[in-house]
Structure 1
Amino acid sequence: MFVEYTKSICPVCKVVVDAQVNIRDGKVFLRKRCHDHGRFEALVYGDAQMYMDSARFNKPGTIPLHFQTEIRDGCPSDCGLCPDHKQHACLGLIEVNSGCNLDCPICFADSGHHSDGYAISAADCERMLDALVAAEGEPEVVMFSGGEPTIHKQILDFVDAAQARPIRTVVINTNGIRLASDRRFIDQLAERNRPGRPVHIYLQFDGLDEGTHRQLRGRDLREVKQRALDNCAAATLSVTLVAAVERGVNEHELGAVIRHGMAAPAVQSVVFQPVTHAGRHVQFDPLTRLTNPDIIAGIAAQLPDWFAASDFFPVPCCFPTCRSITYLLTDGEHAVAIPRLLDVEDYLDYVSNRVIPDLAIREALEKLWSASAVLGTEETARPLEKAARALNCADACGVDLPEALQHLTDRVFAVVIQDFQDPYTLNVKQLMKCCVQQITPDGRLIPFCAYNSVGYREQVREQLTGVAVPDIVPNAAPLAAMLADSPHGSKMADSDGMQRNGTTRDATNTGRRAVRQ
């Protein structure tokens, strides 16, 4: 069933192409055709009904205070942001380096022990922070990432520079290796973790099985992760566990990761991200890739006493199929999802024009169901306090709550599912409402999914290093063979004659026609 027409890119050469969204067998697929490389199709949402229902949660966007580029070639070729973009930045992301102390088999940034890598300077960082402030006024969150940001010699200076500006929360996106071994560094971060200017740790944490670590990270990091968590707890640094989830590798560990996070004193939330198939990644079939509804269903199946699929709601500030969140009240033993106590759907429905019982509660829930929500900060504590007014009557909700959970002052825990687009799944309609913006050294704010998919990452690395970076499509040849043998590929080829790989030209095409230089 045809749903809509949109634009996308060829995953081989990155040229902008026409695309269509279709429903088949209860799932949502993106289909597109490149003149040179043939037709492609990818699964974008594993539950068609959830996809259609999510339209109600599409909140009108807030325009940035300042745009950095003009409209010339159209989305996604004018990123910077251009005036066609429909949402401000809930989160600004600065990659401080391309080097890393790991060489993970999966890495959308293609980071590692590069001889041609880069590290930004203090002047670069301040210019990037100023660009974010110019666009946002008072940015809610800036995240320092990489590469591995903690190995940058000036990372603490970068945190200081962010805190010297009207930026409310600083997040360090890290694999945890330095946090596990350098107590002095932990203490220096803790000194900067101040009321009103918190520092939060976004810790890579893919699972508890040795095989998960070796397949996704190339080595067993379980002890490293635990030492990092222990050190953060001792320093009272709040932590989000972030799991990259790949089909056939670690989707069976969703419940275990949540349980581990809830038992860890420092951890206040867990984020699950289906693997972004850009940069480096393992072999995959784009017709059977993991999507948000698959993660939600897996969580509900693995922790049925705590979760149902209906506990998760789309995030309205971005395109609603990109991110879903639920919040739990927990005392460590019991857990109850907040959507069972409060009609979240009524407050976040922007289409049905329902009568909103309390606009203050709606405003609070909008802050919580946002890409900028970071538990453990005042920015989430205030909306939680507002929401508490609607949660004071457990009996009226028909929910038998343990006494320990009858007040919102008890521990709140968040579970987030975020599916970033890649060259196979990029949909311009979703991209235009992206609220996670990559900040470049020349002062542009580029939607995260465009930065990783369209060619901007390669462009920036080339500018910073002077070394040409080809847009290589990893595993293109193995993917072609896999799809030829797969029952999905055979079935589709029989029914519509589509080619899945289209590798009629060298896969190292630079594809820079998609990016305005």
Structure 2
Amino acid sequence: MDAKNLAAFARGQASGGGSSGRRVDSDYVFHELTRSICPSCKMVIDAKILLRDNKVYMSKRCSNCGPFMALVYDDARAYVSFARFNKPGTIPLAYGTRHDEGCPHDCGLCPDHEQHTCLGIIEVNSACDMDCPLCFADAAPGFSLTIEEVEQMLDDYVRTEGQPEVVQFSGGEPTMHPRIIDFVRAAYARDIRFVMLNTNGKRIARDDRFLTELEKVRPSFYFQFDGFERETYRAIRGEPDILEEKLRALDRLAAIGLDVTIVPAIERGVNEHEIGRIVEFAIAHPAVRGITFQPAFHAGRHSTHDPMQRMTIPEIVRLIETQTAGKFVASDFVPVPCCFPTCNSVTYAFVEDGKVTPLPRIIDVGDYLDYITNRIVPDFSREIRTALEGLWSSSSVAGSDASNRRVAISCQTCDLPDGLAINSIAKNMIMIMLQDFMDPWTFNQKNAMKCCKEFLLPGGKQIPFCTFNTVGYREQARAQLNAMEPERRRARKEGRPYEPKPIVFDFGDKRAR
């Protein structure tokens, strides 16, 4: 919707929209009221969720900046029906902040948050060896965390979770950090089950010594991979000739038996035509255990975009179906129930002798789990319930022992391909997940309150992913972490421990009016 039509839409809402003295029906259904933020000034404001032409939109008005409207979901019927997958949240063992100013300005997690942390993210540095046009972290030289800071953040993660499932080291580019291997060891030492590096792959492709160190500590990888064409990488990464380096990195990881989830950012008009080829590549490559498609969300550094034309999960699912000639179809994908169901969809598939068998075709998830009451059908044991719920959790990572155990347990009740040994499940399984993050145009407080992916910060705060990247947390945290860098350097130079300092947030008058 262009500015002229958007203004007319807003005027119609304000005036009643009728003409000639007779009432008329709206061309949309008012689905719900939530809170969001103004994309311009970041003030917390009310927002309406509207259903029109089988699409879901967010409409909001800032008293200072005017009206805004954005596409939220490209299938209104699915958006409404997925509410049945919304299961009760799991409460963390401890909170990081009080409920004081109200969501979204009490993050840390506060007692009003509706879910624990499935995935903890630690940005170990802000520098990167790329300058991507699309970068929600807006990576640039600034800070580089110390081992003391990272260990404190990991200890706090354990304090709130008991035994955390997954931690992901990110950046910037985390492989540039001189102590990244020590960080991986520190996470495993705290019995965190799964440790990931979020990387562009450059150092892996070039550095033999680093590859040897990775083989010893054996993390998994969340690997930036947007497609195959030069124009794709020029538009999204600013480096049109980077593909060969990425393929080399993946081959080197396969040679030492490490698992990879490739992560394509899908931007309309750039690489949506490559989705099927990405799926086929992932199925065939020995290192790749999963794909996480991320519709491009416009936070941090990004190009000009139309929020009414953004990619959403349902459209990517349809493109997967079309471009894989039906190897995967829409009904193969199931909403992830631990966060808000429209934020994630996932499927798992067994691959044997070139045949792809999506798990939902041999296990009817609706018959096994009752997400409304969060209980299993009485005929099945709690163990199988736990296995299946875990398989559809945001903490499941393709190729992990936990994921393999869950599949092995669930296979007691289904007919898997002949000859599939439990110990070889990881090698025969592919995960496809779709993760739609919210940006300032689509931020929905309701969704944020059940987010299970949190940024971990010095001092113990845990900030939901979309809140951190849209509301203003990132900017404040970055400024404080950068300001601490001179003291970190002095501590390193003098050979003494660095005393971590907490991050403090102040949003002033940005609270809801």
**TM-score normalised to structure 2 length:** 0.86
Structure 1 Cα separation of the partners of residues 376 and 107 of structure 2: 36
Instruction: Give matches, 1:56-205, under 5 Å.
Output: 56-112=84-140, 114=141, 117-193=142-218, 199-205=219-225
Do the aligned partners of 2:115 and 2:451 also contact (CA within 8 Å) in 1?
Answer: yes
| TM-fit CA distance, 1:406 | 10
Residue deviations 1:291-328, cap 9 Å, x none?
A: 11111111011113311101000000011000000011
1:211-257, Cα deviation, whole Å (9 max, x unpaired): 11111000121011111011101111111110000011011111111
Match of 1:47 in 2: 75
Q: For 1:114-513, what aligned pairs fall within 5 Å after superposition?
A: 114=141, 117-193=142-218, 199-219=219-239, 220-331=241-352, 333-351=354-372, 355=377, 357-358=379-380, 359-392=382-415, 403=418, 409=425, 411-466=428-483, 513=509
Hey, what does 2:53 align to over in structure 1? 25
Amino acid at match of 2:395: S
Q: Match of 2:226, SS? A: coil
Flag the 1:332–1:96 CA change in 2: closer, same or farther, 3 A.
farther
Tell whether the 8 Å contact from 1:239 to 1:267 is kept in structure 2 after alignment: yes
Q: Which has the higher contact order (CA 8 A, sep 6+)?
A: 1
Q: CA deviation at 1:147?
A: 0.3
Supply the AA of the counterpart residue of 1:28.
V
Summarize the Cα distance change of 1:513–1:107 in structure 2 as closer, same or farther, 3 Å threshold.
Answer: farther
Partner-residue secondary structure (3-state), 1:310: helix
Give structure 2 stretches of 5+ with no counterpart.
Answer: 1-28, 485-505
For 2:42, what is the secondary structure of its paired residue?
coil
Once residues 27 and 72 of structure 1 are traced to their aligned partners in structure 2, the CA distance between those partners, rounded to angstroms, is: 36
- Residue 187 to residue 513, structure 1, CA distance change in 2 (3 Å): farther
Percent identity between the two aligned chains? 50
Could you tell me how far 1:332 is from its partner in structure 2? 5.1
Structure 1 residues 162 and 330, CA gap change in structure 2 (3 angstroms)? same
Amino acid at match of 1:92: G
Distance 1:15 1:348, change over 3 A: farther
CA RMSD of aligned residues (A): 1.9
How far the C-alpha of 1:404 sits from its partner, in A, is 6.3
User: 1:346, CA displacement in angstroms?
Assistant: 2.6
Give the deviation of 1:466 after TM superposition. 3.1
- CA displacement, residues 340-387 of structure 1 (integer Å, 9 cap, x when unaligned): 111012334422788454243332121111111112221111111111
- The letter of the residue matching 2:476 is Q
Give TM-score, length-normalised by structure 1. 0.86
- Secondary structure of the 1:387 match is helix
Distance 1:389 1:444, change over 3 A: same
> Which of these residues, 25, 38, 44, is aligned with residue 16 of structure 1?
44
Alpha carbons 2:369, 2:376 under 8 Å: kept: no
Please tell me whether the aligned partners of residues 347 and 356 of structure 1 are also in contact (alpha carbons under 8 angstroms). Answer: no
SS in 1 for 2:68: strand
Shift of 1:405: 6.7
Distance 1:453 1:430 in 2: 13
2:31 maps to 1:3? yes
CA distance, structure 2, for counterparts of residue 300 and residue 404 of structure 1: 28
Q: Distance in 2 between matches of 1:348 and 1:297?
A: 25
Unaligned runs of 5+ residues in structure 1 are 194-198, 395-400, 468-509
Q: 2:309 is paired with a residue of what secondary structure?
A: coil
Give the distance between the partners of 2:63 and 2:228, measured in 1 at CA. Answer: 44
* SS of structure 1 residue aligned to 2:458: coil
Q: Residue by residue, what CA displacement relative to the aligned partner does 1:188-210 show, whole Å, maximum 9, x if unpaired?
A: 111112xxxxx101110000111
Number of aligned positions between the proteins: 458
Measure the CA separation in 2 of the matches of 1:454 and 1:515: 10
How far apart, CA to CA, are the structure 1 residues paired with 2:372 and 2:286? 40
The alpha carbon displacement at 1:515 in A equals 7.4
How much has 1:71 moved relative to structure 2?
0.8
Q: Which moved more, 1:215-224 or 1:142-151?
A: 215-224
